[in-house]
Amino acid sequence: MDPTDMPSIDPDFLCHRLSISLGARPVSQKKRRLGEEKKRAIRAEMAKLLQARFIQEVKYPSWLSNVVMVKKSSGKWRMCTDYTDLACPKDLYLLPNIDALVDGASSCRLLNFMDTYSGYNQIRMHPSDESKTAFITNEGNFCYRVMPFGLKNARATYQRLMDQILKDHVRNQLEVYVEDTMVKSKMEIGHDENLASIFKVLRKYQLRLNPEKCSFGVKAEKFFGFMLTRRGIEANPEKCNTIIDMRSPKSVKEVHQLTERVIALARFLSQSTEKSTPIFQRLRKIECFRWTNECEAAFQELKMMLSSPLILTWSILVTSVIIQKEEDGSSNKKGNGVRIILEGPSGVLIEQSLCFGFRASNNQAEYEASLVRVRLAKELGAKRLTIKTNSQLITGQVNGEYQAKDLQLTRYLGMVKAQTETFEGFTLLHVPQEQNERADLLVKLASTQKGGLHRTIIQKALGRPTIEGTGVLCTEWRLS
């Protein structure tokens, strides 16, 4: 597509603004050296941007940044700008949970994958902020008239746009994560009408798609590193082969690489946390690294598991009749939250992190975690439920051994009893913290994961206490 043929979103509807912190001093970066290949790519991209009137020359800019060239998987170059010195506070607009998107699209008969053409550039910059996007090149200084790649809050702005214009379709007929959009259908009947209605919305707001990155009516496609098919969510064969072809780690750094790859596939591996324990324990031995026979045996077992097709389907969970859960609760100055492990008799694991948007006592956090686990067990179709907690007080109150005198805890106790009455069997067990090794291991496993990767622990946020009404910010639980 020719950029000159691409209109932009109506600025009166939405445009990107830079909320520069008050009192921030402008920064003019020193020009960096670039190789000849990157220089040619910059000149070619500059010609396109100038022709499309996406950029314009600027004189005497107060802010000035360097161009950063990023190579795409296709081998082409993407021109970004280093705006790290722009003193903009982070836009806290909530991005969708990637695992929620993947699971929401599993087992659909028809999938359509769409990608907007230079989506960021279809949103205009606010006129007062254009000069602040100035960047330096050999041909002079230029600034963007449209939202460029590299801005701190560009993803949040684009997600906000998609959520606004597609609000009537999100979750029901499509999933959207920034520039990636997927139209889904459980049945072929009505799929064309759904697709047509979404095209109508995109046409109304003048959003253009990239034909090279769109595929329609497919029954299997890679989406955020997972393979989506009618059968369910399949492990990406490329990721499996990466681990299968790995040699045995010879350093802590190589163990980190292995654990990151295992975490990305953990949802497909039964009891992955338990079986990988010897490997994760090597992360503690930084000064004196030693790859033991136990580690090698666990490594080879992982390879054997990955050598067979890995498919995650809902039927595995629905047939589970007992779900055991362990959790590690915490409350500190940085925030409140709990981590939960759910395990069925077949070894199916769901690992979830629940974050509170309010100050919660340890007892309140324990009750909130219990309520989340009960609701999750019901959604999985569990008939009998066993919860393990390290809170002796909560265990005693629920089992009738202790009396709840605090008004807040009394309300929590009533909610737990009301929601557990429908189970054929419900047991709440007290497990001392020192015996709760699996929860401790989950925390260590999460700490080994770097930013930007798919998280094994699914995050969920509560805006306010459950006893005050629905306070869930991320309402969908997902497998990990």
Q: Which CATH number fits domain 315-326+334-462: 3.40.50.10470, 3.30.420.10, 3.40.50.10880, 3.30.230.70?
A: 3.30.420.10
> How far apart, in whole angstroms, are the C-alpha atoms of residue 183 and residue 194?
8
- Taking CA atoms, 122 is separated from 54, 130, 157, 206, 465, in Å, by 9, 15, 12, 9, 40
Q: Which residue intervals of 338-435 are DSSP H helices?
A: 362-379, 392-398, 407-420
Residue 327 pLDDT exceeds 50: no
Reported confidence tier of residue 325, pLDDT bands at 50, 70, 90: very low
- Taking CA atoms, 396 is separated from 141, 389, 393, 425, in Å, by 69, 11, 5, 18
Q: Which CATH number fits domain 36-222: 3.40.225.10, 2.60.40.3140, 3.40.50.1970, 3.30.70.270?
A: 3.30.70.270
Residues 6+ apart with CB under 8 A from 309: 234, 235
State percent of the chain over pLDDT 70. Answer: 70
Reported confidence tier of residue 330, pLDDT bands at 50, 70, 90: very low
The model's pLDDT over 387-445, given as tens digits with 9 standing for 90+, comes to: 877 788 888 888 888 888 888 888 889 888 888 888 777 888 877 765 555 555 544 44
Longest Cα–Cα distance of the chain, Å, equals 78
Reported confidence tier of residue 36, pLDDT bands at 50, 70, 90: very high
Q: How many CB atoms lie within 10 A of CB 57?
A: 11
- The C-alpha angle 469, 472, 477, rounded to 5 degrees, equals 130
Domain range summary for the chain, segments of one domain joined by + = 36-222, 238-311, 315-326+334-462
> How far apart, in whole angstroms, are the C-alpha atoms of residue 237 and residue 240?
5
293-306 and 237-244 are packed helices; what angle lies between their axes, rounded to 10 degrees?
150
Single-letter residue type at 63 = W
The model's pLDDT over 97-121, given as tens digits with 9 standing for 90+, comes to: 766 666 666 666 777 888 887 788 8
Q: What is the dihedral of CA 7, 11, 15, 21, to 10 degrees?
A: 140
> How far apart, in whole angstroms, are the C-alpha atoms of residue 60 and residue 67?
18
First to last CA, the chain: 38
Q: Under DSSP, is residue 295 helix (H, G, I), strand (E, B) or coil? A: helix
Mean pLDDT of 138-149: 92
Single-letter residue type at 458 = I
237-244 and 252-264 are packed helices; what angle lies between their axes, rounded to 10 degrees?
150
Residue 218 pLDDT exceeds 80: no
Q: Under DSSP, is residue 84 helix (H, G, I), strand (E, B) or coil? A: coil
What is the reported pLDDT for 317?
Answer: 29
What residues pair up with 80 in beta bridges, in sequence order? 68
> How far apart, in whole angstroms, are the C-alpha atoms of residue 337 and residue 344?
23
Residue 204 pLDDT exceeds 50: yes
- Taking CA atoms, 183 is separated from 178, 214, 447, in Å, by 14, 11, 34
The model's pLDDT over 268-290, given as tens digits with 9 standing for 90+, comes to: 666 666 677 788 777 765 667 78
How many angstroms from the chain centroid is the CA of residue 47? 36
How many angstroms from the chain centroid is the CA of residue 336? 20
